[in-house]
Amino acid sequence: MGKQDFLLRIVKTWNLNPKPEYRGFRCADCQKYMKKAWHYWLNKGGYKSPVHFCSKCNKDFELDRLEVKKPTLKVNKSKFLKFPRNISLKLKEIVDKWNIKTRPAYKVFACDNCAENMHKAYHVWAVQEKILTETHFCKQCGDKIGFK
């Protein structure tokens, strides 16, 4: 199984919140909260999103030892918020700028709007042109945009 196929399988086990939520970052597999992680990009199967792994899970992922044991969850895209035009355009602008062909990197999390490092963020899932995307915003940017 290719890396994109595996990332897609793991993301399909997540219980995606259709409303923005302010929280810390969790490992894609073990769900442990973390302040620094391995960052990958998923761009397949109707998703375009970063996927984060802790160091332990990343090692297992790279050695093809990680297994998806949780069941796949159905995602109803119609339940995700329809943002006002100005917010939708901002989210699209951010997603369109992503360089999803970059190699995985171990780094702290950064706001998709201002690029400041952060340990908690607004996690925002949105449907853009039938693709589910997840963006992350620091408290200041998220509050200013209107996610609070």
Q: pLDDT by residue (tens digit) across 71-85? A: 999 999 999 999 999
Q: Please name the residue that has the structure tokens 């449907």.
A: 127
- Predicted confidence at residue 37, as pLDDT, reads 98
Who's near 113: CB < 8 A, 6+ residues apart? 90, 94, 137, 138, 141, 145
Question: What is the span of the domain harbouring residue 30?
Answer: 3-145
Number of domains observed in the structure of the chain: 1
**What six digits make up the tokens of 106?**
């171990």
Question: What pTM was estimated for this model as a whole?
Answer: 0.94
Per-position DSSP letters for 68-95, written without gaps between them? --SPP----GGGS----HHHHHHHHHHH
For 23-81, what is each residue's pLDDT tens digit?
A: 999 999 999 999 999 999 999 999 999 999 999 999 999 999 999 989 999 999 999 99
* SS3 of residue 24 by DSSP: strand
